[in-house]
């Protein structure tokens, strides 16, 4: 029996994996493939968007722990630079690297936990910027065909917190990510009013890169989008739910009672999941039972304390989902990925032949 996954997830929950492989050497990927007992392994990055079951997790988990970032000029366009990143490199390190090199395109992703390899899976994003905006190329291993594959950004089916890698779970291990960034001392245009206010600027203008990164980090701290210094929110997996897409009728009803709505493409609307939770009576810091709390600043982020288990965490998530469903007829979808079969999760209901993981869409500020 393998090592417990609780040391590999930010919630610090999770039982042993049947087989846990730590992949550290980019040049030794095929050795890792040979060692894997399963042809449908779960590739784990920083575990900041993963809720792992308390029970034995069947099959192989590969923890992507490769490091390395190199910059490469784009010959055809001297204003652009490619950053070639090993998949296990923390996203925030890549943001810092880009800042030092005066490259724009990642600045609004500062402070997001997790690895760059998971970025294209979730199409990780914040403040109007997402990985898809700068993603040039991915090198990945495709497990069903046992082939190394190069994919360009337009082959990844990116949507809001979604990609082909999410649509095709357990088939891909992303090994290297190439981001194409603009050589510029200024950030991409501000797309977010709160940040613009913090910088004393207007939406649409381009602040200096370093100021943009500092403002993002500050805003994340103040709004509970980064764990607090006192550590009370340390054990979390970000937002528990996506902002759901709602019907025209639901938009009309929720707008009348003050719900924050935003466009969701194709004329649809998303409603704030945090607002829905508050409307059914929850608040930051509230105890939800089983050692699970709403985080100190944010109702939508659930934090774990001793002696929480994944089972307890999932019971709370299911209860919140039911409460919102019965109040509004709106079904909340998970943001994190559920690995294994904690009792009561969707993954547990998928049956013995189903993959050991359920993957869904993701959300961000
Ligand atoms: C405090 C906090 C704040 C957050 N804020 C944001 C935010 O603002 N915006 C946002 O989008 N997200 C946010 N998140 C969620 C999370 O940090 C991101 O989604 C991040 O990209 C996940 O990276 P990870 O390496 O931890 O992924 P993991 O949890 O390890 O994995 C998540 C998914 O990606 C897959 N995966 C991971 N690595 C690979 C790989 N190399 N190849 C193939 N598949 C892989 C896994 O199989 C799984 O399906 C936040 C989380 C926390 C805890």
Write down the pLDDT at residue 3: 82
Q: Which of 17, 116, 122, 131 to mutate to test the pocket of ligand 1 (most atoms within 8 A of CB)?
A: 122
Select from 290, 333, 335 the least CA-distant residue to 313. Answer: 290
pLDDT(355) > 90: no
E strands along the chain, which residues? 17-23, 42-44, 50-52, 57-64, 69-73, 80-86, 103-104, 125-126, 129-130, 135-142, 147-152, 172-183, 236-239, 245-246, 261-263, 269-271, 292-294, 301-304, 337-339, 357-358
Q: Which of 6, 59, 118, 355 to mutate to test the pocket of ligand 1 (most atoms within 8 A of CB)?
A: 118
Question: What's the CA-to-centroid distance between 58 and ligand 1, angstroms?
Answer: 21
pLDDT tens across 134-147, in order? 999 999 999 999 99
Write down the pLDDT at residue 215: 97
pLDDT(364) > 70: no
Higher pLDDT, 222 or 320: 320
> What average pLDDT does the structure give for the chain?
91
* Residue whose CA is at the smallest distance from ligand 1 atom 52: 238
- Complete domains list, the chain, with CATH: 72-141+176-222 (3.30.465.10), 241-333 (3.90.78.10)
Dihedral angle of Cα 317, 240, 242, 300, to the nearest 10 degrees: 100
Pocket of ligand 1 (CB under 6 A): 10, 42-50, 64, 87, 112-115, 117-119, 121-122, 124-126, 161, 165, 172-174, 225-227, 236-238, 337, 359, 362, 364-365
* Residue whose CA is at the smallest distance from ligand 1 atom 11: 124
* Residue whose CA is at the smallest distance from ligand 1 atom 22: 114
Write down the pLDDT at residue 360: 31
Cα distances (angstroms) measured from residue 225 to each of 106, 126, 234, 329: 17, 10, 11, 28
Select from 178, 179, 140, 175 the least CA-distant residue to 64. Answer: 175
Question: What's the CA-to-centroid distance between 175 and ligand 1, angstroms?
Answer: 15
Band (pLDDT 50/70/90 cuts) for residue 289 is very high
Band (pLDDT 50/70/90 cuts) for residue 104 is very high
Three-class DSSP category at 100: helix
Measure the CA–CA gap between 313 and 332, rounded to whole angstroms: 16
Could you give phi then psi for residue 117, rounded to 5 degrees?
-65, -30
Band (pLDDT 50/70/90 cuts) for residue 182 is very high
- Which atom of ligand 1 sits closest to the CA of residue 121? 34
The answer to whether 326 touches 30, Cβ cutoff 8 Å, is no
Question: What's the CA-to-centroid distance between 119 and ligand 1, angstroms?
Answer: 6
Write out 112-150 in H/E/C secondary structure.
CCCECCCHHHHCCEECCEEHHHHEEEEEEEECCCCEEEE
Write down the pLDDT at residue 26: 97
Taking every pair of Cα atoms in the chain, the longest distance, rounded to a whole number of angstroms, is: 58
| pTM of the predicted model as reported, rounded to 2 decimal places | 0.92
Write down the pLDDT at residue 264: 84
Question: What's the CA-to-centroid distance between 295 and ligand 1, angstroms?
Answer: 19
Concatenate the DSSP letters of all residues of 269-333 into one string.
EEE-HHHHHHHTT--TT-B-STTEEE-SS-TTEEEE-TT--HHHHHHHHHHHHHHHHHHHS----
pLDDT(310) > 80: yes
Query: Stretch 221-238: mean pLDDT, rounded?
Result: 87
Query: Any idea which of 150-154, 250-254, 294-298 has the lowest mean pLDDT?
Result: 250-254
pLDDT(292) > 80: yes
Is 161 an annotated catalytic residue?
yes
CA 357 distance to own-chain centroid: 15
Write down the pLDDT at residue 263: 86
Set 272, 335, 341, 358: catalytic member: 335
pLDDT(359) > 90: no
pLDDT(358) > 80: no
Write down the pLDDT at residue 229: 64
* Residue whose CA is at the smallest distance from ligand 1 atom 23: 114
Select from 32, 23, 225 the least CA-distant residue to 124. Answer: 225
pLDDT tens across 230-284, in order? 788 999 999 999 999 999 899 988 888 999 998 887 778 999 999 999 999 999 9
Query: Stretch 193-219: mean pLDDT, rounded?
Result: 96
pLDDT tens across 9-63, in order? 999 999 999 999 999 999 999 999 999 999 999 999 999 999 999 999 999 999 9
CA 253 distance to own-chain centroid: 30
Write down the pLDDT at residue 346: 39
pLDDT(173) > 90: yes
Set 53, 239, 295, 310: catalytic member: 239
């Amino acid at each position: 029996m393998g090592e417990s996954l609780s040391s590999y997830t930010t919630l610090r929950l999770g039982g042993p994996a049947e087989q846990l492989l730590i992949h550290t050497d980019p040049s030794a990927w095929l050795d890792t493939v040979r060692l894997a007992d399963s042809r449908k392994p779960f590739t784990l990055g920083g575990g900041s968007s993963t809720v792992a079951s308390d029970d034995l997790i069947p099959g192989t988990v590969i923890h992507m722990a490769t490091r390395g970032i190199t910059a490469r000029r784009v010959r055809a366009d001297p204003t652009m630079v490619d950053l070639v990143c090993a998949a296990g490199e923390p996203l925030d390190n890549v943001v810092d690297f880009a800042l030092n090199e005066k490259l724009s395109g990642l600045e609004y992703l500062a402070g997001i936990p997790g690895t760059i390899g998971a970025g294209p899976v979730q199409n990780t994003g914040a403040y109007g910027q997402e990985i898809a905006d700068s993603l040039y190329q991915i090198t990945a291993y495709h497990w069903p065909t046992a082939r190394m594959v190069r994919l360009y950004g337009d082959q990844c089916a990116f949507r809001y917190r979604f990609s082909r890698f999410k649509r095709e779970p357990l088939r891909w291990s992303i090994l290297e990510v190439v981001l194409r960034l603009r050589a510029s001392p200024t950030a991409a245009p501000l797309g977010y009013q709160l940040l613009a206010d913090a910088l004393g600027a207007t939406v649409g203008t381009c602040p200096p890169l370093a100021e943009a990164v500092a403002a993002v980090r500050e805003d994340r701290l103040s709004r509970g989008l980064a764990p607090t210094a006192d550590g009370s929110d340390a054990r979390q997996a970000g937002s528990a739910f996506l902002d759901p897409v709602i019907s025209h009728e639901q938009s009309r009803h929720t707008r009348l009672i003050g719900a924050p709505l935003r466009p969701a493409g194709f004329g649809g609307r998303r409603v704030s999941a945090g607002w829905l939770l508050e409307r059914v009576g929850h608040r930051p810091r509230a105890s939800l039972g089983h050692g699970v709390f709403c985080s100190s600043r944010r109702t939508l982020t659930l934090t774990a304390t001793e002696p929480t288990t994944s089972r307890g965490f999932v019971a709370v998530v299911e209860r919140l989902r039911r409460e919102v469903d019965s109040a509004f007829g709106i079904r909340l979808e998970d943001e994190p990925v559920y690995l294994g079969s904690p009792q009561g999760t969707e993954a547990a209901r998928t049956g013995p032949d189903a993959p050991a993981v359920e993957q869904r869409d993701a959300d961000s500020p």
